Amino acid sequence: MQGNVLGTRLDKTVTARWRRRLAGSGPEHGRHWRTKTAYYAAAGRLLAAGEQLTWSTIAAAVEPKGSRSTFYEVTGPHAKHPLIRELTNDESVDSLQLAHYYRRASPIDQLIDETKVWTYWPYRECLVLMCRADPDLDRNAAVDLLAACVDRWTRRNPAVAAALEAAPPVCAVEDLLALRPGQFSAVHAVGVLAKATQGATVTVGQAV
């Protein structure tokens, strides 16, 4: 039942637990998750349009309405429930390395990282379903599926993918570490997926 084991492993990552808790547990978390996703959507639209991202341009692009106060509830050093804090608090070696790599000085950059996770999530859900569905799926095949999901996400979201020097979604890096435990450092895993992200971004740019 290797496929089922791999799917279960992906369910237990820090990012998966963070998203599940915020999106589905309790009215306070549900409301905050809706606020977060409104800001992710605004950031994604601005990146796709080639617009400058500041707290004011993002707040103005939020639907139905954004503000400076809600912007800083979503991102920045005093944000509510930021993903980077979950990685830091997990205290595993992989999580701490990822937290160090993805720690951003700018609230805008922190928001972009979470926007990458949000836009990538439907592709990740497909990966989890494929891992659960195939009891004979081995780790190498699962890693190939992960790379294909990252590639498809990049091609559908080129501006978001290219932001922050084409850093891959942190959840995809976590998944690679979960699928190949002990075989990658967090930094190596980032590099592996960044090559795929950068390559797909270049291909999209050439096609345009």
For Cα atoms 44, 52, 61, give the angle at the middle one, nearest 5 degrees. Answer: 50
pLDDT on residue 91: 82
Under the banding of pLDDT at 50, 70 and 90, the label for residue 200 is low
- In terms of average pLDDT, the best of 28-32, 72-76, 176-180, 189-193 is 72-76
How many domains does the chain contain in total? 1
Residue 169, class by beta-carbon neighbours within 10 Å (0-12 exposed, 13-18 middle, 19+ buried)? buried
Q: What is the pLDDT of residues 68-98, one digit of tens each?
A: 999 999 999 999 999 999 999 998 999 999 9
Q: What is the pLDDT of residues 99-138, one digit of tens each?
A: 999 999 999 999 999 999 999 999 999 999 998 888 888 8
* Residue 131 φ then ψ, to 5°: -65, -40
- Based on its alpha-carbon atoms, the radius of gyration of the chain, rounded to whole angstroms, reads 17
The residue-averaged pLDDT of 31-35 equals: 93
| Least trusted range by pLDDT, from 141-150, 163-172, 179-188, 195-204 | 195-204
Under the banding of pLDDT at 50, 70 and 90, the label for residue 208 is very low
To the nearest whole percent, how much of the chain has pLDDT over 90?
Answer: 73
The structure tokens listed for 90 are 């997990």
Mean pLDDT (the chain, rounded)? 90
| Least trusted range by pLDDT, from 12-16, 179-183, 196-200 | 196-200
Do residues 97 and 186 touch, judged by C-beta distance below 8 A?
yes
Whether residue 171 is predicted with pLDDT greater than 90 in this model: the reply is: yes
106: containing domain: 2-207
Phi-psi region of 75 (alpha: psi -120 to 50; beta: other; left: phi over 0): beta
What is the three-state SS of the chain? CHHHHHHHHHHCCHHHHHHHHHHHCCHHHHHHHHHHHHHHHHHHHHHHHCCCCCHHHHHHHCCCCCCHHHHHHHCCCCCCCCHHHHHHHHCCHHHHHHHHHHCCCCHHHHHHHHHHHHHHHHHHHHHHHHHHHCCCCCHHHHHHHHHHHHHHHHHHCHHHHHHHHHCCCHHHHHHHHHHCCCCCCHHHHHHHHHHHHHHHHHHHHHHC
pLDDT on residue 28: 66
Do residues 110 and 79 touch, judged by C-beta distance below 8 A?
yes
pTM equals 0.91
Do residues 37 and 44 touch, judged by C-beta distance below 8 A?
no
pLDDT on residue 132: 87
To the nearest whole percent, how much of the chain has pLDDT over 70?
Answer: 91
